[in-house]
Structure 1
Amino acid sequence: MSSGHAMPGKADFAAAYAGPDPRGYFRALAPYEYLTPHHAQRVFRLLTAARAPRAVVDLCCSYGVNAALLNHQLTLAELYHRYTDPALDSLSAEELTLRDRQFYAARRRPEAVPVIGVDVATGPVDHARRAGLLDAAFAENLERAAPSPALRALLADVGLVTVTGGVGYVSERSFDHLLACTASPPWVAAFALRAVPYGPVAEVLAEYGLVTERAAGTFPQRRFTGPEERAGALRAAVEAGLDPAGLEEEGWYHAALYVSRPAAQVTARPLATLLR
C-alpha cells in the first residue's frame, strides 16, 4: 500500500502482503479477527445490484478478498478456515492458485459482476487474477501516477469504486486519478478507520458531482495487536474529537462507512434506505 495517513502505533502488516498467495495474509490477521470485508460483503452486494452490470474497481484489492465475497457463495469465516488450514501447508503457491481457481469457480454467483483490482503489491494482485477473482488486475501506485493506459481504458464505464482498509494508506490523490478517467462518475463506497480524516477524499469526490453520506454507527475492524496499538488508537480518536468509550476502549479499531453518489440519487434514495 502507498503512503498516507499513518495512525500512531498502528501495527505494520506489510509482510502479510509479500507472499504469492493468501495463506500468510489470513494467518497474520486471524488472531486479531479482521472483519471489514465481512461487513463490506452485504453493503457492496447491495450497491452493485443497483449499478449492475457495470464493473467494480476494488482499490487496495490485495488478494481479491472483496471480490471473493462479492461474487461467490462464501463468507469471510470460510476464507479464514481455508487459508489457515494446515492441510494446505504442503502446496506450492502455484498448486494453491490452481486449486483456488476451481474453488471459486464452483461457488460463483449468477449475479457476479466484473471486478478490476488495483494494488501496489504485485504478488497479491497476480494471485487474485490467476485464481479467477479479478477480471483485470493492476499493480499500480495511484498516489504517485495516473492510471496506465491499460487501466485507463477499463475505467470509462465503471459503476462502483470500493475500498476496505485502504483509506489512509491511499489519499484523495488516488481517487482523483481514478475518477478523472471515468466517462461518468462512479459511486464510491469506502470503509475507513473512524479516526482517519475522510474529508479530503469527500472534497475531491464532490468535484466530480458526488455527495458523500456516512452510514449510521461504526463497524468493528479488528482487535488491537497490543497495548501500543490501543494507546495510539485512543489518542487518535480523542485528537479527532471522537469518544472512544464502548469502541476503541474495548480493544478494537472501528471503521466508518462512506458512500458517495450523485446528488439526485442521494435525494431520491438516501443511504439508510439504500442499505436497508
Structure 2
Amino acid sequence: MATERHRTATASGKTRFDDIYDQPDPRAYFRTLAPYEYEIPHHAQAIFRRTRELRSQLPGSEGPVTVLDVCCSYGINAALLNHDLTLADLYAHYTSAATAALTPQELLACDKEFYATRRRPDATPMIGLDAAANATRYALEAGLLDEAYAEDLERHPPSSGLCRAVARTGLITITGGIGYISHRTFDALLDCARTPVWVSAFALRTVPYRRIAVALAAHGLATVANASRAYPQRLFTSDQERRDAVRQVILAGEDPTGHESEGRYHARLYESRPHTG
C-alpha cells in the first residue's frame, strides 16, 4: 500500500487508478482494488439482470436483449450478468496464487474455460465500450463480450461498427465511468439508437448527473433515482480523499452522514426509460 501515496488525484480529489485499467488482463485491477473493497458491480448484478428482464418484456421486442456496457473495462459487468459468478468469486480467482503464476496467455486460456463452464442459460449478447484497448481485447478474447470497441466518445465520434452495435442495443449499463465520461458520450450513443433504449447507471454522489439526464431527456428518456438509497462503492484511499468527497457531496446538496462520512464512496442508481406519455 505504500505506493498509494504516489498516485495522483482528479480535480475533485478522487484517487486515480489509471495504471490498472489497461493491462493485458484483470489481475492488477483486482489486486489493487481488493484492499479498498470495491463493490459496486456486486450491487449492480441483480439490478441489471432484473432491468434486462423487464426490457425484454417491452412490446415488440424480439429475441434476447442486447446490452451495451459503457466503461466496460475487463468485462466485469458482463461476467456477472451472464455467468453464475459473484464479484467475490472474481476477486478470489484473480488474486489467487495459482492465477498469479500464469502468463497472460495462460490466464486467457484458463479464463475462456472458467467463463464458458459458468455461462447462464439466460445469457444475452454483450457489447463493451471502453477507451482501454487492452482491457476490451481481454474481455472479447475471454468470451465475456460479443463485440468490443476501444473508443473515446468524449473526443471522437463513434465508429460505424459501434453505431451498428448501438442500433441493436436495448439496455445501456454503466457502473464506474460517470465523471470520466459525460453527456457527450451518451449523446453520441443515443444518436445511433434505432430501438427503444433503457439506461441503468450508477454514479458517485460526488458527481453531478443532471447534465446527463438532460441529454437523455433530449433523446426521449425520463430519468428517475431513488434518493433514499445509496450503494457503497469503495473505501477511501486516504483521509484527504474522504474530506474531498464529503465536501463534494455537501456541495451537491446531499448529506454525507452515514455514508461518505463513514469512510466509503457511495453511488446513486439512475434509471432512464422512454417517456410513456
State the TM-score, normalizing by the size of structure 1. 0.92
Report matched runs for 1:1-276 at 5 Å: 6=10, 8-52=12-56, 53-215=64-226, 216-264=228-276
**Structure 2 SS opposite 1:184:** coil
Letter of the structure 1 residue corresponding to residue 262 of structure 2: E
Deviations 1:107-151 (A, max 9, x none): 000000101000000111000000000000010001112210111
Give, in whole Å, the separation in 2 of the partners of 1:174 and 1:57: 13
Letter of the structure 2 residue corresponding to residue 57 of structure 1: L
Structure 2, gaps ≥5 residues long: 1-9, 57-63
Give, in whole Å, the separation in 2 of the partners of 1:18 and 1:214: 31
Structure 1, gaps ≥5 residues long: 1-5, 268-276
Letter of the structure 2 residue corresponding to residue 147 of structure 1: P
Letter of the structure 2 residue corresponding to residue 213 of structure 1: V
Contact 2:94 2:100 in 1 (8 A): no
Contact 2:72 2:128 in 1 (8 A): yes
**Structure 2 SS opposite 1:143:** coil
Contact 1:185 1:208 in 2 (8 A): no
Contact 1:7 1:233 in 2 (8 A): no
Give, in whole Å, the separation in 2 of the partners of 1:70 and 1:43: 10
Give, in whole Å, the separation in 1 of the partners of 2:225 and 2:213: 10
Contact 1:7 1:236 in 2 (8 A): no
Give, in whole Å, the separation in 2 of the partners of 1:145 and 1:18: 19
Structure 1 residue 7, shift from structure 2 partner: 5.3
Structure 1 residue 263, shift from structure 2 partner: 2.0
Give, in whole Å, the separation in 2 of the partners of 1:7 and 1:175: 22
Alpha-carbon RMSD: 1.3
Higher relative contact order (CA 8 A, sep 6+): 1
- Percent identity, aligned pairs only, is 53
Structure 1 stretches of at least 4 aligned residues deviating more than 3 Å after TM superposition: none
2:59 maps to none
When the two structures are aligned, how many residues end up with a matched partner?
261
Letter of the structure 2 residue corresponding to residue 32 of structure 1: Y
Letter of the structure 2 residue corresponding to residue 238 of structure 1: I
State the TM-score, normalizing by the size of structure 2. 0.92
Deviations 1:170-206 (A, max 9, x none): 0000000001001134100000001211000000100
